[in-house]
Amino acid sequence: MENGEIPENAPEHCPGPQSETAGKSDSCKGCPNQEICATAPKGPDPDLVAIVERMATVKHKILVLSGKGGVGKSTFSAQLAFALAAMDFQVGLLDIDICGPSIPKMLGLEGQEIHQSNIGWIPIYVESNLGVMSIGFMLPNPDEAVIWRGPRKNALIKQFLRDVDWGELDFLVVDAPPGTSDEHISIVQLLQETGIDGAVIVTTPQQVSLIDVRKEVSFCKKVGVEVLGVVENMSGLSQPLSDLKFTRMTETGEQKDMTEWAMSYMRENAPEMLNLIACSEVFDTSGGGAAKMCNDMGISFLGKVPLDPQLCKAAEEGRSCFSDDKCQASAPALKMIIEKILAQKNISTENGA
């Protein structure tokens, strides 16, 4: 337990050897380290000093959270990082989703390995002003499951913050796992001394997702992290009409592809329709969606991002949705949301952070 680190054989909800309740809380019962923790001298974690020094070169820190998995949180984190880098900011993207690291793929960095120098771990760079760090770079096999208890996860997060040499950064975007688990408590506690600008919470429109977002908002309030706002992702399917596939149901119940006929008909009889974007609700929004929830809770609603197949493709291919005109439905929505976040913190896109 050097430097007050939580030992690997500690129980899941270990309060930490430096806590006043170390060795005394209910979660300590049965732990082989209980007596040592109870009698060990308490004091500030010396690693916190190293983290404060390392984070002193980072101007803004933004957490990206979600109540549930599968709502597009990592996609948003990746595109936020791409967008900020395209504005000529110096950007770092830290993936602390230990058990489900998807950031390497979404940044086109699969197969890359972390290198170490005499000043720390070196991030993997997409561009000269966009560096990435993830446990995904440390796994010998991408299909290998990470089966770690809380203390080991927390130790890695601490190591990321203490040992990664980000250099001078305008933004550090932290992609957290869904929910409110040990990783969230760790990142907040470890960064609080250095200042966290706030959290962006990503959700989908239906109530089953919004229920958990309310818990995420409650978590932020309890730990003193400002909620910058909520993003409603997958807010209806939107894509150019020309990208749709058309079918007709036959008498036998099979679907017959009518795309070529439909496109030919439109080109000949209504060519202006091919410039339209088709929209359809995917989730039940009868409850008012994220906008109503934000109004009820008194927090900022940042906007809606449609379910855009082209955005999904960009994430799969590890590229920015802003680099071309393919993401016609989603890129403008994401751009407006990112501009709102910067405006909230009075950050100019022209003069830097």
Query: Is 220 annotated as ligand-binding?
Result: no
159 touches 151 (CB < 8 A): no
Query: Is 70 annotated as ligand-binding?
Result: yes
Closest residue by Cα to residue 57 from 163, 137, 170: 170
Mean pLDDT of the 196-222 span: 96
Query: Is 345 annotated as ligand-binding?
Result: no
255 touches 247 (CB < 8 A): yes
* Beta bridge mates, 257: 247
Give 48-236+283-345's CATH code, choosing from 3.40.1380.10, 3.40.50.300, 3.60.15.10, 3.30.210.10.
Answer: 3.40.50.300
111-132 b/e (C-beta count within 10 Å ≥ 16 → b)? ebeeeeeeeebbbbebeebbbb
Whether the predicted pLDDT of 110 surpasses 70: yes
pLDDT of amino acid 44 = 65
The Cα–Cα gap between 103 and 43 comes to 36
Query: Is 312 annotated as ligand-binding?
Result: no
Confidence band of 214 (pLDDT split at 50, 70, 90): very high
Query: Is 120 annotated as ligand-binding?
Result: no
pLDDT of amino acid 46 = 79
Closest residue by Cα to residue 156 from 132, 190, 201, 129: 190
Closest residue by Cα to residue 330 from 231, 253, 245: 231
Query: Is 222 annotated as ligand-binding?
Result: no
Query: Is 71 annotated as ligand-binding?
Result: yes
Query: Is 68 annotated as ligand-binding?
Result: yes
Confidence band of 2 (pLDDT split at 50, 70, 90): very low
The DSSP code for 162 is H
pLDDT of amino acid 227 = 97
Phi, psi of 301 (to 5 degrees): -100, 115
48 touches 71 (CB < 8 A): no
17 touches 37 (CB < 8 A): yes
Whether the predicted pLDDT of 343 surpasses 50: yes
The Cα–Cα gap between 101 and 159 comes to 16
Mean pLDDT of the 263-292 span: 92
Query: How would you class 346 by CB atoms within 10 Å of its CB: exposed for 0-12, middle for 13-18, buried for 19 or more?
Result: exposed
142 touches 76 (CB < 8 A): no
Instruction: Tell me the per-residue pLDDT of 166-205, one tens digit each, with 9 for 90 and over.
Output: 999 999 999 999 999 889 999 999 998 899 999 999 999 9
pLDDT of amino acid 43 = 60
Structure tokens at 83: 């967008």
Query: Is 294 annotated as ligand-binding?
Result: no
Query: Is 242 annotated as ligand-binding?
Result: no
Structure tokens at 9: 């054989």
Residue type, 4: G
Whether the predicted pLDDT of 330 surpasses 50: yes
Q: Where do the domains of the chain lie?
A: 1-43, 48-236+283-345, 238-280
pLDDT of amino acid 42 = 60
Mean pLDDT of the 150-163 span: 92
